[in-house]
Amino acid sequence: MKYFLSVGSNIDAKENLDFAEREIDKILTNLSSSSIHKTKAEGFEGDDFLNSVVSGECDNSFDELNHKLKSIEDMSGRDRNAAKFSARTLDIDIHLDNYEQTENVMGSCLHIGGNEFQLNIDKKQKLYDLILTVCHEMVHVKQYARKELKEDYPRTLWFGKTYTDGRCYPWELEAWKMQKILAHKYIKQQKLGTIKVLKSLDKRS
């Protein structure tokens, strides 16, 4: 199973991010990491956070991996009794597992921090479906960038309202609504032909 982790720190941030990556490397294989991104502390006065995204593979379940990551946070000196919005030596969150192994999920959007995002797209899709998926995930980019959508595991905040369970998430409903509108605009602007032609070409391939 492939996992994507967000790693953040605003206490001895560079040292703790390096420590986290070394420890995560003991758990995940085929490890890769993003560039480091700086963000302001939110909800309290404090130093800026340094953030990165790490991805890799392991056979652990979500709960097993999460337990190991919490142990890494503890080894860095993470204070579990500190206020929710406070400085942290390490904060490691699991954002998603491999979308390719999740039924009917063709893409995902990961907010790394600030204006930096990572899109994961299943390239095995037909051309028209691929365009739809990219447009769908770009709606999520808009939602994160405008702070309409915010991840605070295990909660998700949508315009400040908490969601922890359910299928008809409003941010997904908006993305499903907008994906066709955006895709059709893109196809028209790029002169890729009509939707009917694209679908017929996909059927032949």
Residue-wise pLDDT for 36-59, tens only, equals 888 888 778 889 999 888 989 999
Q: What is the pLDDT of residue 142?
A: 95
Q: Give the residue from 126, 133, 145, 128 showing the smallest Cα distance to 108.
A: 133
Q: pLDDT band at residue 202, thresholds of 50, 70 and 90?
A: low
* Greatest mean pLDDT among 86-95, 155-164, 188-197: 86-95
CB 136 within 8 A of CB 176: yes
Query: Does the pLDDT value for residue 99 go beyond 50?
Result: no
* Greatest mean pLDDT among 101-115, 128-142, 163-177: 128-142
Separation of alpha carbons 171 and 174, rounded Å: 5
Burial class (CB in 10 A: 0-12, 13-18, 19+), 6: buried
As a residue count, the chain comes to 205
Q: Give the residue from 143, 142, 95, 145 showing the smallest Cα distance to 120.
A: 95
Q: Give the residue from 168, 145, 167, 171 showing the smallest Cα distance to 157.
A: 171
Instruction: Provide CB contacts within 8 A for 170, sequence distance 6+.
Output: 158
Q: pLDDT band at residue 11, thresholds of 50, 70 and 90?
A: very high
Domains of the chain: 1-97 (3.30.70.560), 122-205 (no CATH)
Chain CA centroid to CA 114, Å: 13
Query: Does the pLDDT value for residue 190 go beyond 60?
Result: yes
